[in-house]
């Protein structure tokens, strides 16, 4: 009897280290499918209320994804297979295709976050074939953790220590030989462009740290560049708090989060780099950061939707403000605090932001303005090229003091500005109104004489820097 499988690709847009592909390829016929889920584009409301609405996927991430799909299709075609592409809802598309090819099983990579799980369950209910779940988007597989995810520590350090001493990273899976396509004719479908999905394409800003083209080909090329071509990994620990340029950090995140790059492949490349070049604090630190990524994935598996509540997993009772005007100024990069504004403008113009920038921008909204942190997280959800629900909402909750740390995570953004941008090069790159000022003044334009300040066309600060940050 001929066996037929469907491979339902989601945020696992690669051939390398893809266990769902390996399992699905163990059949006589294989149909790889990608569905542009209509619910991911256009406006969404927050937690079932319409008091706050936002765009779920902005133009840059949409384009990144489209490029990743085109790349995956071409890589599959090179191996005699293909990628069927549809726009619609996954239940209808997958049940129709499974019937059409008489599939025995549908293989998919599962995710721990509530919306992704709900879609899986919906598909499982309607598809007339077994839904087989795989897990491969983290460095460590949940089955290999020293504790069950339901009992992992809610604080990073004990979690990390337990994992480092009690678990190991699996070897990345090889690319299998791909079976023929099913005999039944299935139209491959046209890859939509952003406007077909109702998303406005965003222009490219030449100040972006990288061009960030989606796809496995580009993801692997960036891995090669960062480790081998530029040797940047050697100094990652010293440079990772940077703000300007291509190589202060790996910039792997967009490819990791759309699944164009497997974290285990990154880890294997770091192993090889350690053997051939150097093993030092920096090579360790890249794994340390990838483990932060794992931590949030497993935390979402443990706590689920509680992460999206105002008080978070700590169930804290904080009177978050719903201040539209303050929120708008923050999104536009017009808070009057140059370091915050520079970061918000970089995010809007490019879809990428350094970790240091994200921490400061988030802390300003949540801790200084006390605006509902989830509004900020939702804005990041729209804009980020590397958006992932667990990494984004998990980090936001952490900074807002409702997540995985009981300490006050409030940042003194003025101190941070002077510490991480001592020459105000970053601020002057993004806040052109201030580009002629000397560094101290660029960070604190309110200290200028009144007439010079009035001539700047730059807003007065939304918070009083003196009371909020002391002397800076």
Ligand X SMILES: Cc1cc2nc3c(=O)[nH]c(=O)nc-3n(C[C@H](O)[C@H](O)[C@H](O)COP(=O)(O)OP(=O)(O)OC[C@H]3O[C@@H](n4cnc5c(N)ncnc54)[C@H](O)[C@@H]3O)c2cc1C
Does the annotation list 391 as a binding residue?
no
Q: How far apart are CA 384 and CA 202, in angstroms?
A: 12
Answer yes or no: is 292 a known binding residue: yes
Q: Is there a binding annotation on residue 289? A: yes
Residue 294 annotated as lining a ligand binding site: yes
Task: Work out whether 391 is an interface residue with ligand X (CB under 6 A).
Answer: yes
* Cross-strand bridge partners of residue 130: 105
Nearer to ligand X, 5 or 391 (CB): 391
> Is the separation of the CB atoms in 163 and 297 below 8 Å?
no
Q: Is 285 known as a binding-site position?
A: no
- Return the residue of 94, 256, 260, 371 that touches ligand X, per CB under 6 A: 256
Q: Is 271 annotated as a binding residue?
A: no
Tokens 């037929």 belong to residue: 4
Give the residue ranges of DSSP H helices in 229-262. 236-239, 253-257
Binding map of ligand X across residues 222-241, x = CB under 6 A, - = no contact = ------------------x-
Looking at beta carbons only, is 46 or 292 nearer to ligand X?
Answer: 292
Interface residue with ligand X among 293, 303, 329, 374 (CB under 6 A) is 293
- Radius of gyration for the alpha carbons in the chain, expressed in angstroms and rounded: 23
Residue 144 assigned to a binding site: no
| Distance (Å, whole) CA 456 – CA 435 | 10
Phi, psi of 84 (to 5 degrees): -80, 130
CB of 52 or CB of 285, closer to ligand X: 285
Give the bridge partners for 36, in sequence order: 87
To ligand X, the closest distance from the beta carbon of 139 in angstroms equals: 9
Tell me whether residue 57 or residue 392 sits nearer to ligand X (CB atom): 392
- Is 193 marked as binding a ligand? no
156 carries a ligand binding annotation: no
Closest CA to 329 of 465, 460, 470: 460
Number of H helices, E strands in the chain: 20, 7
- Which one of residues 290, 340, 431, 462 is an interface residue with ligand X (CB under 6 A)? 290
CA-to-CA dists, residue 207 to 197, 222, 240, 284, 426, angstroms: 27, 18, 19, 30, 11
User: CB of 293: closest distance to ligand X in angstroms?
Assistant: 3
Q: CB of 394: closest distance to ligand X in angstroms?
A: 7
CB 338 within 8 A of CB 435: no
Residues 267-286, mask of contacts with ligand X (x by CB under 6 A): -------------------x
* 3-state class (DSSP) for residue 318: coil
Q: Where are the alpha helices (DSSP H) in 167-228?
A: 216-224
User: What residues contact residue 211 under an 8 Å CB cut-off, 6+ apart?
Assistant: 204
- What is the pattern of x (binds ligand X, CB under 6 A) and - over residues 301-340? ----------------------------------------
Contacts of 236 (CB under 8 A, 6+ apart): 249, 250, 282, 283, 285, 286
Q: Quick one: which of 95, 249, 416, 468 contacts ligand X (CB under 6 A)?
A: 249
Touching ligand X, residues 398-457 (CB under 6 A) = 399
Q: How far is CA 104 from CA 48, 89, 214, 397, in A?
A: 36, 21, 31, 42
- Count residues binding ligand X (CB under 6 A): 29
Task: Single out the residue of 81, 95, 257, 283 in contact with ligand X (rule: CB under 6 A).
Answer: 257
Is 293 a known ligand-binding residue? yes
Report the C-alpha gap between 367 and 413 in whole angstroms: 11
Query: What is the binding site for ligand X (CB under 6 A)?
Result: 240, 249-253, 256-257, 286, 289-290, 292-293, 296, 354-355, 358-359, 362, 380, 384, 386-388, 391-392, 395-396, 399
- Known binding positions for FAD: 236, 249-253, 289-296, 386-388
């Amino acid at each position: 009897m001929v066996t037929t499988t469907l491979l339902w690709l989601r945020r696992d847009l690669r051939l390398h280290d893809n266990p769902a592909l390996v399992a699905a390829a163990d059949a006589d016929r294989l149909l790889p499918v990608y569905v542009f889920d209509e619910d991911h584009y256009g406006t969404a409301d927050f937690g079932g209320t319409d008091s706050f609405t936002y765009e779920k996927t902005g133009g840059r991430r949409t384009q990144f994804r489209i490029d990743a799909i085109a790349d995956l299709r071409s890589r599959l075609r090179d191996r005699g297979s293909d990628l069927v592409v549809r726009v619609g809802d996954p239940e209808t598309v997958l049940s129709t295709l499974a019937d059409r090819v008489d599939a025995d099983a549908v293989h998919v990579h599962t995710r721990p976050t509530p919306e992704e799980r709900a879609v899986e369950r919906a598909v499982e209910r309607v598809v007339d074939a077994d839904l087989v779940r795989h897990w491969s988007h983290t460095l460590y597989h949940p089955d290999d953790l020293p504790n069950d995810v339901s009992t992992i520590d809610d604080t990073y350090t004990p979690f990390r220590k337990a994992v480092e001493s009690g678990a190991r990273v699996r070897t990345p899976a090889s690319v299998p030989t791909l079976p023929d396509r099913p005999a039944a004719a299935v139209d491959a479908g046209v890859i939509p462009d952003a406007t077909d999905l109702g998303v406005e394409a965003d222009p490219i800003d030449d100040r972006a740290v990288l061009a960030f083209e989606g796809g496995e080909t580009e993801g692997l090329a960036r891995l090669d560049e960062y480790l081998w071509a530029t040797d940047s990994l050697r100094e990652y620990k010293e440079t990772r708090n940077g703000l300007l340029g291509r190589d202060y950090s790996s910039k792997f995140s967009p490819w990791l989060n759309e699944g164009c790059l497997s974290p285990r492949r990154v880890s294997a490349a770091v192993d090889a780099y350690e053997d051939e070049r150097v093993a030092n604090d920096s090579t360790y630190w890249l794994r340390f950061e990838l483990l932060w990524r794992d931590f949030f994935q497993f935390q979402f598996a443990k706590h689920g939707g509680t992460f999206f509540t105002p008080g978070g997993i700590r169930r804290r009772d904080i009177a978050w403000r719903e201040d539209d005007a303050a929120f708008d100024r923050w999104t536009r990069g017009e808070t009057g605090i140059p370091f915050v504004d520079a970061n918000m403008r970089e995010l809007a113009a490019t879809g990428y932001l350094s970790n240091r920038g994200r921490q400061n921008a988030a802390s300003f909204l949540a801790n200084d303005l006390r605006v509902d942190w989830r509004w900020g997280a939702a804005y990041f959800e729209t804009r980020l090229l590397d958006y992932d629900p667990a990494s984004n909402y998990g980090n936001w909750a952490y900074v807002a003091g409702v997540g995985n740390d009981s300490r006050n995570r409030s940042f003194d953004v003025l101190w941070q500005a002077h510490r991480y941008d001592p020459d105000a090069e970053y601020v002057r790159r993004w806040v052109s109104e201030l580009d002629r000022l000397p560094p101290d003044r660029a960070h604190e334009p309110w200290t200028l004489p009144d007439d010079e300040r009035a001539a700047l066309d730059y807003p007065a600060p939304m918070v009083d820097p003196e009371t909020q940050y002391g002397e800076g």
